[in-house]
Protein backbone atom coordinates (compact mmCIF):
# COMPACT_ATOMS: atom_id res chain seq x y z
CA UNK A 1 0.00 0.00 0.00
CA UNK A 2 1.38 3.39 -1.02
CA UNK A 3 1.98 6.11 1.56
CA UNK A 4 -0.59 8.34 -0.16
CA UNK A 5 -3.18 5.56 0.13
CA UNK A 6 -2.36 5.16 3.82
CA UNK A 7 -2.87 8.90 4.37
CA UNK A 8 -6.23 8.85 2.55
CA UNK A 9 -7.33 5.78 4.53
CA UNK A 10 -6.35 7.49 7.80
CA UNK A 11 -8.22 10.71 6.96
CA UNK A 12 -11.32 8.78 5.87
CA UNK A 13 -11.41 6.87 9.14
CA UNK A 14 -10.98 10.05 11.16
CA UNK A 15 -13.94 11.66 9.36
CA UNK A 16 -16.13 8.67 10.25
CA UNK A 17 -15.92 9.48 13.97
CA UNK A 18 -15.84 13.27 13.99
CA UNK A 19 -17.28 13.74 17.47
CA UNK A 20 -14.92 11.27 19.13
CA UNK A 21 -11.92 12.67 17.27
CA UNK A 22 -13.02 16.20 18.15
CA UNK A 23 -13.19 15.43 21.86
CA UNK A 24 -9.80 13.69 21.75
CA UNK A 25 -8.24 16.62 19.89
CA UNK A 26 -9.85 19.01 22.39
CA UNK A 27 -8.24 17.16 25.31
CA UNK A 28 -4.88 17.23 23.52
CA UNK A 29 -5.37 20.94 22.78
CA UNK A 30 -5.97 21.73 26.45
CA UNK A 31 -2.94 19.71 27.51
CA UNK A 32 -0.70 21.35 24.89
CA UNK A 33 -1.98 24.86 25.69
CA UNK A 34 -1.43 24.27 29.41
CA UNK A 35 2.13 23.12 28.74
CA UNK A 36 2.94 26.19 26.63
CA UNK A 37 1.26 28.74 28.91
CA UNK A 38 2.85 27.29 32.04
CA UNK A 39 6.35 27.25 30.53
CA UNK A 40 5.82 30.72 29.02
CA UNK A 41 5.81 32.18 32.54
CA UNK A 42 9.42 31.07 32.98
CA UNK A 43 10.41 32.47 29.57
CA UNK A 44 8.59 35.75 30.21
CA UNK A 45 10.06 36.40 33.65
CA UNK A 46 13.53 35.45 32.46
CA UNK A 47 13.30 37.81 29.50
CA UNK A 48 12.05 40.69 31.65
CA UNK A 49 14.56 40.28 34.45
CA UNK A 50 17.46 39.76 32.05
CA UNK A 51 16.50 42.90 30.19
CA UNK A 52 16.11 44.78 33.46
CA UNK A 53 19.53 43.63 34.70
CA UNK A 54 21.34 44.32 31.45
CA UNK A 55 19.83 47.81 31.16
CA UNK A 56 21.63 48.88 34.35
CA UNK A 57 25.09 48.21 33.00
CA UNK A 58 26.51 47.56 29.53
CA UNK A 59 26.91 43.83 28.96
CA UNK A 60 30.50 44.34 27.81
CA UNK A 61 31.55 46.32 30.90
CA UNK A 62 33.68 44.85 33.69
CA UNK A 63 34.12 46.81 36.92
CA UNK A 64 37.56 46.42 38.49
CA UNK A 65 38.72 47.38 41.97
CA UNK A 66 41.88 46.59 43.95
CA UNK A 67 44.00 43.50 43.42
CA UNK A 68 45.87 41.10 45.66
CA UNK A 69 49.58 40.56 45.17
CA UNK A 70 51.35 38.10 47.46
CA UNK A 71 48.24 38.04 49.68
CA UNK A 72 48.43 41.82 50.11
CA UNK A 73 45.82 44.28 48.88
CA UNK A 74 47.33 46.62 46.31
CA UNK A 75 45.82 49.76 44.85
CA UNK A 76 45.50 50.24 41.12
CA UNK A 77 48.14 52.45 39.51
CA UNK A 78 49.29 53.36 36.01
CA UNK A 79 51.18 50.09 35.66
CA UNK A 80 48.17 47.93 36.42
CA UNK A 81 45.98 49.98 34.09
CA UNK A 82 48.42 49.39 31.24
CA UNK A 83 48.43 45.67 32.06
CA UNK A 84 44.64 45.60 31.84
CA UNK A 85 44.71 47.44 28.51
CA UNK A 86 47.09 44.82 27.08
CA UNK A 87 44.74 41.94 27.87
CA UNK A 88 43.21 40.25 24.86
CA UNK A 89 39.71 41.42 23.86
CA UNK A 90 39.89 44.63 25.94
CA UNK A 91 38.48 47.49 23.83
CA UNK A 92 38.97 50.40 26.23
CA UNK A 93 39.68 51.06 29.90
CA UNK A 94 38.04 53.96 31.75
CA UNK A 95 40.00 54.91 34.91
CA UNK A 96 38.09 57.01 37.42
CA UNK A 97 39.26 58.52 40.67
CA UNK A 98 36.99 60.11 43.26
CA UNK A 99 38.51 63.12 45.00
CA UNK A 100 37.79 62.58 48.68
CA UNK A 101 39.13 64.61 51.55
CA UNK A 102 41.90 63.57 53.88
CA UNK A 103 43.54 66.80 54.91
CA UNK A 104 41.87 69.12 52.40
CA UNK A 105 38.21 68.85 51.30
CA UNK A 106 36.80 69.90 47.91
CA UNK A 107 33.55 71.85 47.58
CA UNK A 108 31.62 72.96 44.49
CA UNK A 109 29.85 76.27 43.80
CA UNK A 110 27.97 77.65 40.80
CA UNK A 111 27.29 81.37 41.00
CA UNK A 112 25.91 81.73 44.56
CA UNK A 113 24.70 78.14 44.74
CA UNK A 114 26.52 75.40 46.57
CA UNK A 115 26.59 71.67 45.83
CA UNK A 116 27.64 68.51 47.60
CA UNK A 117 28.66 66.94 44.28
CA UNK A 118 31.48 64.42 44.23
CA UNK A 119 34.47 65.34 42.07
CA UNK A 120 35.43 62.49 39.71
CA UNK A 121 38.66 62.66 37.70
CA UNK A 122 38.43 60.62 34.51
CA UNK A 123 39.71 60.16 30.95
CA UNK A 124 37.19 61.76 28.58
CA UNK A 125 38.55 60.00 25.48
CA UNK A 126 38.10 56.66 27.21
CA UNK A 127 34.64 57.70 28.39
CA UNK A 128 33.72 58.55 24.81
CA UNK A 129 35.07 55.21 23.55
CA UNK A 130 32.98 53.43 26.19
CA UNK A 131 29.84 55.05 24.72
CA UNK A 132 29.04 57.25 27.71
CA UNK A 133 25.77 58.95 26.75
CA UNK A 134 25.03 62.64 27.13
CA UNK A 135 21.61 64.23 27.50
CA UNK A 136 22.88 67.69 26.56
CA UNK A 137 26.04 69.30 25.24
CA UNK A 138 29.25 67.65 24.07
CA UNK A 139 32.34 66.04 25.51
CA UNK A 140 34.95 68.52 26.80
CA UNK A 141 37.32 69.89 24.16
CA UNK A 142 39.79 71.41 26.65
CA UNK A 143 41.03 70.55 30.12
CA UNK A 144 39.01 73.33 31.74
CA UNK A 145 35.74 71.92 30.43
CA UNK A 146 33.89 69.27 32.39
CA UNK A 147 30.85 67.03 32.41
CA UNK A 148 28.23 67.00 35.15
CA UNK A 149 25.79 64.28 36.15
CA UNK A 150 22.16 64.34 35.06
CA UNK A 151 20.99 65.40 38.55
CA UNK A 152 23.72 67.97 39.21
CA UNK A 153 21.33 70.94 39.04
CA UNK A 154 19.15 69.30 41.69
CA UNK A 155 22.12 69.27 44.10
CA UNK A 156 22.52 73.05 43.94
CA UNK A 157 21.06 75.03 46.84
CA UNK A 158 20.94 78.72 47.55
CA UNK A 159 22.89 80.43 50.36
CA UNK A 160 19.64 80.78 52.33
CA UNK A 161 19.02 77.04 52.12
CA UNK A 162 22.65 76.32 52.95
CA UNK A 163 22.31 78.20 56.22
CA UNK A 164 19.63 75.77 57.31
CA UNK A 165 21.94 72.78 57.19
CA UNK A 166 22.09 70.67 60.33
CA UNK A 167 25.90 70.73 60.38
CA UNK A 168 27.30 73.96 58.88
CA UNK A 169 30.83 72.57 59.07
CA UNK A 170 30.00 69.59 56.84
CA UNK A 171 30.83 70.44 53.22
CA UNK A 172 29.16 67.24 52.01
CA UNK A 173 25.55 68.25 52.52
CA UNK A 174 23.03 66.53 50.32
CA UNK A 175 19.72 68.41 50.02
CA UNK A 176 16.67 66.37 49.19
CA UNK A 177 15.80 68.78 46.41
CA UNK A 178 17.75 71.70 45.01
CA UNK A 179 16.25 75.14 44.34
CA UNK A 180 18.29 76.04 41.25
CA UNK A 181 16.23 76.79 38.14
CA UNK A 182 17.42 76.81 34.58
CA UNK A 183 20.03 74.88 32.64
CA UNK A 184 23.58 74.52 33.94
CA UNK A 185 24.98 73.84 30.46
CA UNK A 186 27.70 76.37 29.59
CA UNK A 187 27.82 77.74 33.14
CA UNK A 188 31.05 78.10 35.15
CA UNK A 189 31.56 76.25 38.40
CA UNK A 190 34.31 76.58 40.98
CA UNK A 191 35.96 73.71 42.82
CA UNK A 192 37.50 74.95 46.08
CA UNK A 193 39.89 72.99 48.30
CA UNK A 194 39.61 73.95 51.96
CA UNK A 195 42.02 72.98 54.72
CA UNK A 196 40.14 70.94 57.30
CA UNK A 197 41.92 72.41 60.32
CA UNK A 198 42.31 76.08 59.43
CA UNK A 199 39.30 76.49 57.17
CA UNK A 200 41.56 78.32 54.69
CA UNK A 201 40.93 77.86 50.96
CA UNK A 202 44.11 76.28 49.61
CA UNK A 203 43.23 76.42 45.93
CA UNK A 204 40.36 77.12 43.54
CA UNK A 205 39.79 75.96 39.98
CA UNK A 206 37.11 77.23 37.63
CA UNK A 207 35.56 74.97 34.99
CA UNK A 208 32.95 75.31 32.27
CA UNK A 209 30.18 72.73 31.96
CA UNK A 210 30.41 71.34 28.42
CA UNK A 211 27.94 68.47 28.73
CA UNK A 212 25.44 66.70 30.96
CA UNK A 213 25.38 62.90 31.19
CA UNK A 214 22.28 60.89 30.37
CA UNK A 215 19.88 59.87 33.12
CA UNK A 216 20.87 56.73 35.05
CA UNK A 217 19.06 53.57 33.94
CA UNK A 218 17.79 53.01 37.47
CA UNK A 219 15.16 55.59 38.33
CA UNK A 220 16.22 55.68 41.98
CA UNK A 221 19.88 56.42 41.16
CA UNK A 222 20.99 60.03 41.40
CA UNK A 223 24.04 61.23 39.52
CA UNK A 224 25.06 64.68 40.69
CA UNK A 225 28.81 64.17 40.16
CA UNK A 226 31.13 66.42 38.21
CA UNK A 227 33.69 64.83 35.89
CA UNK A 228 37.06 66.53 35.49
CA UNK A 229 39.80 65.78 32.95
CA UNK A 230 42.56 63.36 33.89
CA UNK A 231 45.18 66.13 33.71
CA UNK A 232 44.05 67.24 37.18
CA UNK A 233 44.36 63.78 38.73
CA UNK A 234 47.71 64.04 40.47
CA UNK A 235 47.25 67.71 41.37
CA UNK A 236 43.79 67.35 42.94
CA UNK A 237 44.56 64.15 44.77
CA UNK A 238 47.84 65.55 45.94
CA UNK A 239 45.96 68.45 47.53
CA UNK A 240 43.65 66.12 49.45
CA UNK A 241 46.45 63.75 50.50
CA UNK A 242 44.93 60.66 48.88
CA UNK A 243 47.00 57.53 48.48
CA UNK A 244 44.93 55.89 45.74
CA UNK A 245 44.38 57.87 42.56
CA UNK A 246 42.08 55.28 40.94
CA UNK A 247 38.97 54.28 42.86
CA UNK A 248 37.04 52.68 39.99
CA UNK A 249 38.16 51.07 36.74
CA UNK A 250 35.68 50.13 34.02
CA UNK A 251 37.06 47.83 31.33
CA UNK A 252 35.01 47.40 28.17
CA UNK A 253 35.38 44.16 26.20
CA UNK A 254 35.11 43.92 22.42
CA UNK A 255 32.03 41.65 22.52
CA UNK A 256 29.72 39.91 24.98
CA UNK A 257 31.17 36.49 24.09
CA UNK A 258 34.54 37.42 25.62
CA UNK A 259 33.27 38.94 28.89
CA UNK A 260 33.31 35.67 30.82
CA UNK A 261 36.86 34.75 29.74
CA UNK A 262 38.26 38.23 30.46
CA UNK A 263 36.52 38.29 33.86
CA UNK A 264 38.05 34.91 34.74
CA UNK A 265 41.50 36.08 33.64
CA UNK A 266 41.28 39.24 35.76
CA UNK A 267 40.26 37.18 38.78
CA UNK A 268 43.23 34.87 38.24
CA UNK A 269 45.49 37.93 38.38
CA UNK A 270 44.03 38.86 41.77
CA UNK A 271 41.67 41.67 40.80
CA UNK A 272 38.33 42.18 42.51
CA UNK A 273 35.93 42.37 39.56
CA UNK A 274 32.26 42.38 38.74
CA UNK A 275 30.50 42.00 35.41
CA UNK A 276 26.83 41.76 34.63
CA UNK A 277 27.57 38.46 32.85
CA UNK A 278 28.13 36.83 36.25
CA UNK A 279 24.73 37.95 37.45
CA UNK A 280 23.10 36.94 34.17
CA UNK A 281 24.81 33.55 34.30
CA UNK A 282 23.33 32.85 37.73
CA UNK A 283 19.94 34.07 36.60
CA UNK A 284 20.11 31.92 33.48
CA UNK A 285 20.93 28.85 35.55
CA UNK A 286 17.96 29.49 37.84
CA UNK A 287 15.51 30.18 35.03
CA UNK A 288 16.68 27.22 32.97
CA UNK A 289 15.91 25.00 35.95
CA UNK A 290 12.57 26.76 36.43
CA UNK A 291 11.62 26.34 32.77
CA UNK A 292 12.59 22.69 32.81
CA UNK A 293 10.39 22.16 35.88
CA UNK A 294 7.44 23.99 34.31
CA UNK A 295 7.78 22.02 31.08
CA UNK A 296 7.87 18.80 33.13
CA UNK A 297 4.67 19.78 34.97
CA UNK A 298 3.04 20.76 31.68
CA UNK A 299 4.03 17.44 30.14
CA UNK A 300 1.98 15.69 32.82
CA UNK A 301 -1.11 17.43 31.43
CA UNK A 302 -0.22 16.15 27.95
CA UNK A 303 0.22 12.64 29.35
CA UNK A 304 -3.22 12.83 30.92
CA UNK A 305 -4.65 13.85 27.56
CA UNK A 306 -2.87 10.88 25.98
CA UNK A 307 -5.21 8.54 27.88
CA UNK A 308 -8.00 9.79 25.61
CA UNK A 309 -5.87 9.11 22.54
CA UNK A 310 -5.18 5.58 23.74
CA UNK A 311 -8.90 4.94 24.27
CA UNK A 312 -9.82 6.46 20.90
CA UNK A 313 -7.26 4.37 19.02
CA UNK A 314 -8.23 1.20 20.89
CA UNK A 315 -11.87 1.70 19.89
CA UNK A 316 -10.77 2.45 16.32
CA UNK A 317 -8.93 -0.87 16.13
CA UNK A 318 -11.96 -2.71 17.50
CA UNK A 319 -14.33 -1.01 15.06
CA UNK A 320 -12.08 -1.62 12.05
CA UNK A 321 -11.25 -5.26 12.75
CA UNK A 322 -13.03 -6.38 9.56
CA UNK A 323 -11.23 -3.76 7.45
CA UNK A 324 -7.91 -4.81 8.93
CA UNK A 325 -8.69 -8.45 8.16
CA UNK A 326 -9.55 -7.58 4.55
CA UNK A 327 -6.34 -5.59 4.12
CA UNK A 328 -4.27 -8.43 5.53
CA UNK A 329 -6.09 -10.93 3.31
CA UNK A 330 -5.21 -8.78 0.31
CA UNK A 331 -1.55 -8.88 1.34
CA UNK A 332 -1.19 -5.62 3.27
CA UNK A 333 2.09 -5.37 5.17
CA UNK A 334 1.63 -5.37 8.99
CA UNK A 335 4.12 -2.49 9.15
CA UNK A 336 1.87 -0.50 6.82
CA UNK A 337 -1.19 -1.21 8.99
CA UNK A 338 0.73 -0.17 12.09
CA UNK A 339 1.87 2.99 10.36
CA UNK A 340 -1.69 4.03 9.51
CA UNK A 341 -2.81 3.90 13.12
CA UNK A 342 0.35 5.70 14.29
CA UNK A 343 -0.32 8.36 11.67
CA UNK A 344 -3.84 8.80 13.02
CA UNK A 345 -2.69 9.18 16.63
CA UNK A 346 0.14 11.48 15.52
CA UNK A 347 -2.35 13.59 13.52
CA UNK A 348 -4.50 13.97 16.63
CA UNK A 349 -1.44 15.14 18.56
CA UNK A 350 -0.45 17.56 15.77
CA UNK A 351 -3.93 19.10 15.52
CA UNK A 352 -4.08 19.41 19.28
CA UNK A 353 -0.72 21.17 19.26
CA UNK A 354 -1.74 23.63 16.52
CA UNK A 355 -4.95 24.59 18.31
CA UNK A 356 -3.09 24.64 21.63
CA UNK A 357 -0.52 27.10 20.26
CA UNK A 358 -3.28 29.47 19.12
CA UNK A 359 -4.98 29.31 22.52
CA UNK A 360 -1.66 29.70 24.36
CA UNK A 361 -0.78 32.86 22.42
CA UNK A 362 -4.20 34.31 23.21
CA UNK A 363 -3.90 33.48 26.92
CA UNK A 364 -0.33 34.84 26.99
CA UNK A 365 -1.33 38.16 25.41
CA UNK A 366 -4.31 38.49 27.73
CA UNK A 367 -2.24 37.74 30.86
CA UNK A 368 0.31 40.43 29.96
CA UNK A 369 -2.54 42.96 29.92
CA UNK A 370 -4.83 41.71 32.67
CA UNK A 371 -2.29 40.79 35.38
CA UNK A 372 -0.52 44.21 35.40
CA UNK A 373 -3.93 45.91 35.46
CA UNK A 374 -5.03 43.81 38.44
CA UNK A 375 -1.77 44.49 40.31
CA UNK A 376 -2.06 48.21 39.60
CA UNK A 377 -5.67 48.28 40.79
CA UNK A 378 -4.97 46.33 43.99
CA UNK A 379 -1.74 48.10 44.97
CA UNK A 380 -2.67 51.57 43.76
CA UNK A 381 0.74 52.06 42.14
CA UNK A 382 2.23 51.51 38.75
CA UNK A 383 3.65 48.02 38.35
CA UNK A 384 7.08 47.14 37.10
CA UNK A 385 7.44 46.73 33.36
CA UNK A 386 7.47 42.94 33.48
CA UNK A 387 6.36 40.51 30.81
CA UNK A 388 4.62 37.71 32.68
CA UNK A 389 4.34 35.39 29.70
CA UNK A 390 6.45 35.00 26.57
CA UNK A 391 6.22 32.27 23.95
CA UNK A 392 9.41 32.00 21.88
CA UNK A 393 9.64 29.75 18.83
CA UNK A 394 11.69 27.17 20.71
CA UNK A 395 8.92 26.73 23.28
CA UNK A 396 6.39 26.06 20.51
CA UNK A 397 8.79 23.56 18.97
CA UNK A 398 9.41 21.80 22.30
CA UNK A 399 5.68 21.64 23.11
CA UNK A 400 4.90 20.38 19.61
CA UNK A 401 7.50 17.63 19.79
CA UNK A 402 6.29 16.55 23.23
CA UNK A 403 2.61 16.52 22.23
CA UNK A 404 3.12 14.67 18.94
CA UNK A 405 5.56 12.21 20.52
CA UNK A 406 3.22 11.45 23.42
CA UNK A 407 0.26 11.08 21.05
CA UNK A 408 2.20 8.74 18.76
CA UNK A 409 3.42 6.63 21.67
CA UNK A 410 -0.14 6.47 23.01
CA UNK A 411 -1.30 5.02 19.73
CA UNK A 412 1.53 2.51 19.44
CA UNK A 413 -0.07 -0.29 21.48
CA UNK A 414 -3.43 -0.12 19.64
CA UNK A 415 -1.48 0.00 16.34
CA UNK A 416 0.50 -3.05 17.40
CA UNK A 417 -2.75 -4.79 18.28
CA UNK A 418 -4.07 -4.03 14.79
CA UNK A 419 -1.15 -5.89 13.21
CA UNK A 420 -1.97 -8.98 15.27
CA UNK A 421 -5.59 -9.26 14.15
CA UNK A 422 -6.36 -12.79 12.95
CA UNK A 423 -7.62 -12.66 9.37
CA UNK A 424 -10.08 -15.59 9.63
CA UNK A 425 -11.59 -14.37 12.90
CA UNK A 426 -11.90 -10.83 11.53
CA UNK A 427 -13.68 -11.96 8.36
CA UNK A 428 -15.87 -14.44 10.21
CA UNK A 429 -16.93 -11.78 12.70
CA UNK A 430 -18.42 -9.61 10.00
CA UNK A 431 -19.91 -12.49 7.99
Q: What is the CB neighbour count within 10 angstroms for residue 173?
A: 18
Domain ranges of the chain: 3-55+282-430, 61-254
Give the span between the Cα atoms of 349 and 426, in whole angstroms.
29
Cα 414 to Cα 136, 190, 305, 312, 313, distances in angstroms: 73, 88, 16, 9, 6
Give the span between the Cα atoms of 156 and 387, in whole angstroms.
39
Tell which residue, 425, 230, 409, has the closest CA to residue 329: 425
**Angle formed at CA 322 by CA 316 and CA 326, multiple of 5 degrees:** 120
Cα 134 to Cα 52, 60, 117, 263, distances in angstroms: 21, 19, 18, 28
Q: State which of 34-38, 278-282, 367-371 shows the largest mean pLDDT.
A: 34-38
Are the beta carbons of 161 and 224 closer than 8 angstroms?
no
Q: Name the pLDDT band for 175 (thresholds 50, 70, 90).
A: very low
**pLDDT of 374-420, one tens digit each?**
877 777 666 556 788 889 899 999 999 998 899 888 888 888 887 77
Give the span between the Cα atoms of 327 and 49, in whole angstroms.
59
Are the beta carbons of 123 and 281 closer than 8 angstroms?
no
Give the span between the Cα atoms of 329 and 326, in whole angstroms.
5
Are the beta carbons of 402 and 35 closer than 8 angstroms?
yes
pLDDT at 111 over 80: yes
Alpha helices in 187-243 (DSSP H): 233-240
Q: Of 71-75, 299-303, 337-341, 402-406, where does mean pLDDT reach its minimum?
A: 71-75
Amino acid sequence: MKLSDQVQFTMRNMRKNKLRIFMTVLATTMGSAFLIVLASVGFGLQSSLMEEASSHQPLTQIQIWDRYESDELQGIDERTIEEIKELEHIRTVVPRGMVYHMDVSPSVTLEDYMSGAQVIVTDFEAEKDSNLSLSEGDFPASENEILVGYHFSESLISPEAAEQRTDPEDPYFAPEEGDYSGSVLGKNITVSFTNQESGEIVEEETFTIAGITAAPSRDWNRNGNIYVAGEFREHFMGLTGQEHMYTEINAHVTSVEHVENVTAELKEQGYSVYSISEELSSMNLFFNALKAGLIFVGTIAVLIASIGIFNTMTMAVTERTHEIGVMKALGANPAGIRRMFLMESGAIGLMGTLFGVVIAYAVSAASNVIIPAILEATTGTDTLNITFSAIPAELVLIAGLISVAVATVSGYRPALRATRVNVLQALRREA
